[in-house]
Amino acid sequence: MKYHLLLISLILLAGSSAVAAEDSGTPPTAEQIVARMAAHDLQRQSSVEGYAGMRRYVLENNKFHKRAEMLVKVQGDQDGTKHFEVVSEDGWKAAHKHVFRKMLESESETSRPEIRGSAKLTAENYDFELVGTEELAGRLAYVLEIRPKRKEKNLFRGRIWVDSQDYALVRAEGNPAKKPSFWTKSIHFVQVYQKCGSLWFPFSTRSVTEAHIFGTTDVNIDYFDYSPQTRALNEITRASAEGTYQP
């Protein structure tokens, strides 16, 4: 099974985005929106030392009536590198081994700075077209059509929604630029982000895969308890791990 390859490009988007409101006058171009997204991402990296959170993965296969669930703790470094710790597993064991754990391994690998750039929402990887605006959760967002410049598993085609005040990614929807295997007929995903304080964190990922042998498989990821990490908190965490922390 290669379901893990279907979601890596989506979860690579699931980092926090820095915020800073700007005065709105003439609507920005697609190029300006993308440039501001990149600038705010750099601002986020300089304002926090990383983040921590929890994820719940749920896989359901309709054809074989199988279900699997995994609870995972995630730690993100300042440079974007992700570390995972499996807290619990339940259900279909094959999905744990061949789907969930493969997803974590692939995401950890591709989150490294020297690799992550090839999957970012940048002009080097995508063509962008501003197609309108839409209100999401009471906030105005720019809607951009995106087209990958290469057929790679970590890129996708579809649309993104960018907050008009914070220039943070608030929604992404589409299909991977490259199918992971001949057996995959179609894949569709929706990923949503949520503002927490001054930062944006992932909220949910919903993916539906149609395959020749396995039929329809849904993979849902819920993200919760995400928070930025400060230098003081990181020092406490390290001291606790080493057994030297004294309150």
Q: Which tens digit of pLDDT belongs to each residue from 22-67?
A: 445 688 999 999 999 999 888 877 788 889 999 999 999 999 999 9
Q: What is the pTM of this model?
A: 0.84
Q: Is the pLDDT of residue 234 over 80?
A: no
Q: Is the pLDDT of residue 237 over 80?
A: no
Q: Which tens digit of pLDDT belongs to each residue from 128-154?
A: 999 999 999 999 999 999 999 999 988
Mean pLDDT of 185-189: 92
User: How would residue 179 be classed by pLDDT, with cut points 50, 70 and 90?
Assistant: confident
Q: Are 30 and 177 in contact (CB under 8 A)?
A: no
Q: Are strands 82-91 and 199-211 parallel, antiparallel or unpaired?
A: unpaired
Q: Are strands 215-228 and 50-61 parallel, antiparallel or unpaired?
A: antiparallel
d(CA 16, CA 44): 7
Q: Which tens digit of pLDDT belongs to each residue from 83-102?
A: 999 999 999 999 999 999 99
d(CA 171, CA 155): 15
What dotted CATH number matches 4-242?
2.50.20
User: How would residue 9 be classed by pLDDT, with cut points 50, 70 and 90?
Assistant: low
Give residue 20's pLDDT.
Answer: 39
Mean pLDDT of 216-225: 97
Q: Is the pLDDT of residue 167 over 90?
A: yes
The gap between the terminal CA atoms of the chain, to the nearest Å, is 48
- Residue listed under structure tokens 């703790």: 73
Give residue 198's pLDDT.
Answer: 81
User: Mean pLDDT over all residues of the chain?
Assistant: 86
Mean pLDDT of 198-214: 93
Spell out the residues 6+ positions from residue 105 whose beta carbon is closer than 8 angstroms to its own: none
User: How would residue 213 be classed by pLDDT, with cut points 50, 70 and 90?
Assistant: confident
Give rounded-to-5 percent helix, strand, coil for the chain.
25, 45, 30
Q: Are 176 and 187 in contact (CB under 8 A)?
A: yes
Structural tokens at position 81: 């590198």
Give residue 8's pLDDT.
Answer: 57
d(CA 147, CA 145): 7
Most confident among 38-42, 74-78, 157-161 (mean pLDDT) = 157-161
Strand partners, 117: none
